[in-house]
């Protein structure tokens, strides 16, 4: 991990007890005043660094935001309902957290003139017109989740244009790494690694030829730190690696690094699933100085050595 370029700042991390937010909190806490707002629907208190101030509250609740944003120089907005499948099951709930929650936060940031770095998503592109996809390519989300993130991403730009608020949207591709939950709504890497560690079968939805750009959480943290101090505002950046693998290849690699006896089982394709995804990271490289440092092979090996994402 590089030294955080942000120091002596007052920072709010929404979703700071979650997978990405808590890693960000650890990277920032020694040099900054860190407050975390999390409703613990998915977050875990054990992941939060002891030095951070933790407030339990909902991202849609204006009072909780007002209480935690006071004095903040930078807000890292990570709170979200992250599952595409869950957004299809309950779009109203998902919209509330991902779209209305972001708008509520942007309003508070406007009152307090805090810079906002927000977690957007590759899901906003839907079926990309070309691969690798770059920031100005058409957006055609295939799930409520993708549409909500597109709304949040667009609001961030609009708040910059209308109110001069400093916002940066980071469009995460498929983030993985230790600390990611491994349940029905989690990312495929954590599900596969945990199952492989127990020699259980890995279920592939569809033909397994769909592709994803898997980016390690440490690289995502680095991108956030860069965005916090970048001399840019109202911009959006892809945060991936610029490479992609099929889900079947991913499963094979995970079986390989964990030395598992797991079988591959094929099931129906998942509704709303994007077929191919790969980031063009030229803009983040050029404007943020972002450079992914963890290869998928190295990242999977780290997970396997730790015995899965839970441990
Ligand atoms: C993920 C993120 C989403 C992010 C997006 C950006 C999670 C839970 N979701 O969505 O927040 O914005 O990337 O690209 O991290 N699969 C299987 N078997 C399984 C689980 C999944 O075959 O047991 C397949 C899925 O059908 C899909 C692929 O693996 O094709 C990736 O699925 P998943 O990890 O859930 O992520 P995305 O839907 O890409």
Rg over CA atoms, the chain: 18
Angle ∠(253,257,262) on CA atoms, nearest 5: 75
Q: How far apart are CA 143 and CA 147, in angstroms?
A: 6
Q: Strand, helix or coil at 58?
A: coil
Catalytic (active site) residue 155 = no
Protein residue with least CA distance to atom 29, ligand 1: 188
Per-residue pLDDT of 229-257, as tens digits, reads 999 999 999 999 999 999 999 999 999 99
Please give the pLDDT value at position 1: 44
| Domain assignment present for 221 | yes
Looking at the DSSP bridge assignments, the partners of residue 304 are none
| Domain assignment present for 41 | yes
Mean pLDDT of the chain: 95
| Domain assignment present for 160 | yes
Please give the pLDDT value at position 184: 76
Q: How far apart are CA 37 and CA 80, in angstroms?
A: 12
| Domain assignment present for 19 | yes
- What average pLDDT score do residues 132-155 get? 97
- β-strand pairing of 245-246 with 211-212: antiparallel
Instruction: Using the predicted structure, report yes or no on whether residue 4 has a pLDDT greater than 60.
Output: no
Confidence of residue 308 (pLDDT cuts 50, 70, 90): low
| Domain assignment present for 66 | yes
Cα-to-centroid distance, 192 and ligand 1 (Å): 11
| Domain assignment present for 71 | yes
> Residue 270: CB within 6 Å of ligand 1?
yes
Instruction: Using the predicted structure, report yes or no on whether residue 56 has a pLDDT greater than 70.
Output: yes
Instruction: Using the predicted structure, report yes or no on whether residue 142 has a pLDDT greater than 90.
Output: yes
> Residue 122: CB within 6 Å of ligand 1?
yes
Instruction: Using the predicted structure, report yes or no on whether residue 2 has a pLDDT greater than 90.
Output: no
Instruction: Using the predicted structure, report yes or no on whether residue 26 has a pLDDT greater than 80.
Output: yes
Per-residue pLDDT of 153-190, as tens digits, reads 999 999 999 999 999 999 999 999 999 988 877 899 99
Q: How far apart are CA 177 and CA 287, in angstroms?
A: 25
DSSP label at residue 49? -
Residue 152 belongs to domain spanning: 10-175+215-240
| Domain assignment present for 286 | no
Name the more confident of 306 and 161.
Answer: 161
Cα-to-centroid distance, 12 and ligand 1 (Å): 27
Give how many domains the chain has, as a whole number: 1
- State the DSSP string of 80-126: ----HHHHHH-HHHHHIIIIIHHHHHHHHHHHHT-EEEEEEEGGGGB
Protein residue with least CA distance to atom 35, ligand 1: 187
- pTM (2 decimals)? 0.96
Please identify, by atom number, the ligand 1 atom nearest to the C-alpha of residue 192: 23
| Domain assignment present for 287 | no
- What average pLDDT score do residues 78-106 get? 96
**Residues 224, 162: contact at Cβ < 8 Å?**
no
Please identify, by atom number, the ligand 1 atom nearest to the C-alpha of residue 185: 8
CATH number at residue 137: 3.40.50.720
Please identify, by atom number, the ligand 1 atom nearest to the C-alpha of residue 149: 12
DSSP label at residue 192? H
Helix (H) or strand (E) holding 298: helix 296-305
Among the options 125, 145, 176, 290, which is catalytic? 145
> Residue 98: CB within 6 Å of ligand 1?
no
Instruction: Using the predicted structure, report yes or no on whether residue 306 has a pLDDT greater than 90.
Output: no
């Amino acid at each position: 991990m590089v030294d955080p370029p942000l120091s002596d700042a007052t920072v709010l991390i929404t979703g700071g007890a979650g997978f990405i937010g808590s890693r960000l909190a650890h990277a920032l806490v020694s040099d900054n005043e860190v407050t975390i707002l999390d409703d613990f629907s998915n977050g875990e208190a054990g992941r939060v660094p002891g030095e951070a101030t933790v407030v339990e509250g909902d991202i849609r609740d204006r009072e909780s935001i007002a209480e935690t944003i006071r004095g903040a120089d930078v807000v890292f907005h990570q709170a979200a309902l992250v599952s595409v499948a869950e957004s299809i099951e309950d779009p109203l709930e998902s919209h509330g957290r991902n779209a209305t929650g972001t708008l509520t936060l942007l309003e508070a940031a406007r009152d307090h003139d805090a810079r906002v770095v927000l977690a957007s998503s590759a899901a906003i592109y839907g079926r990309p017109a070309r691969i690798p996809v770059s920031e100005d390519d058409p957006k055609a989300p295939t799930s409520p989740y993708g549409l909500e993130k597109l709304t949040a991403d667009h609001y961030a730009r609009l708040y910059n244009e209308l109110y001069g608020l400093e916002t940066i949207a980071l469009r995460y591709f498929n983030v993985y790494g230790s600390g990611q939950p491994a349940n029905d709504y989690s990312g495929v890497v954590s599900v596969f690694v945990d199952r492989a560690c127990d020699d259980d079968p890995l279920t592939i939805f569809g033909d397994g030829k769909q592709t994803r750009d898997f980016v390690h959480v440490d690289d995502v943290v680095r991108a956030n730190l860069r965005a916090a101090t970048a001399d840019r505002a109202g911009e959006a950046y892809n945060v991936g690696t610029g490479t992609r693998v099929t889900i079947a290849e991913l499963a094979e690699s995970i079986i390989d690094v964990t030395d598992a006896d797991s079988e591959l089982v094929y099931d129906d394709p998942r509704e709303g699933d994007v077929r191919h995804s790969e980031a063009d990271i030229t803009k983040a490289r050029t404007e943020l100085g972002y450079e992914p440092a963890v290869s998928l092979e190295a990242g999977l090996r780290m997970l396997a050595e730790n015995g899965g994402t839970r441990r």
